[in-house]
Amino acid sequence: MNKTVIVDYEAGNIRSVANMLTFLNVPFEITSDKNKILQADRIIFPGQGHFAQAMENLQKKGLIEVIKECCNKNIPFLGICIGLQILFEKSEEAPSVSGLGIFKGEVKRFKSGKIPQVGWNKVIPAKNSNVNEDYFYFVNSYYVEPQDENIISSYCDYNGKFCSSVRKNNITAVQFHPEKSSLAGLKFFKNWLGYNYGR
């Protein structure tokens, strides 16, 4: 049986991801156990909240090096929202706090428009994409700005174009919330999982 793990580092929105996997009949476990995470067949790294708090929680649970190791292995890895942002080196939300540094670049705050962006927005795939062109649900005040534009897998527009997802090797990470994105999110998860679990 393929084992999907949702990383529990006390970030928000874990339950919504669990509900989506339950709907898809995907066996999963929510855990902060290092060995279980390292032995998983797929890893989902969700989150909603503050950059500094997320990094502090990872530090407390001893998961920083574990997540880095998982990202460097050939294990399918999905980061969502804060789970995307902390893969980068730093964020304007917490300038003194280092991210995981899996990708070079930083997290920037929107400079105009209503902040946070809350609601549906159209995602446009880039050449490196495993995301369909569709409307997805966002709740974000910040967005990632990768140094290497080749890892960008989709864009979105919110008073200007911004990166809405990245993809490199085994890593897929998205700013939007596929678990809250109705049929578009369902299709996204099915594509990422690469399996039909009966729905």
Residue 134: how many CA atoms within 13 Å on its side-chain side? 17
Please confirm, yes or no, whether 179 is among the known catalytic residues: yes
Owner of token pair 């989506």: 20
Distances (CA, A) of 7 to 26, 40, 57, 145: 15, 10, 12, 24
Q: Which of 38, 143, 151 is nearest to 92 (CA)?
A: 143
User: CB-based contacts of 92: which residues, under 8 Å, 6+ apart?
Assistant: 106, 107, 108, 109, 142
Distances (CA, A) of 13 to 7, 9, 39: 11, 11, 23
Query: What is the DSSP-derived secondary structure letter of residue 127?
Result: T
Please confirm, yes or no, whether 81 is among the known catalytic residues: yes
Please confirm, yes or no, whether 177 is among the known catalytic residues: yes
Helix or strand holding residue 6 (H, E): strand 4-7
Among 70, 106, 156, 179, which one carries the catalytic annotation? Answer: 179
Token pair of 149 as six digits = 């534009």
Q: Which of 159, 170, 154, 155 is nearest to 75 (CA)?
A: 170
Among 70, 71, 81, 163, which one carries the catalytic annotation? Answer: 81
Query: Which residues have a catalytic role annotated?
Result: 81, 177, 179
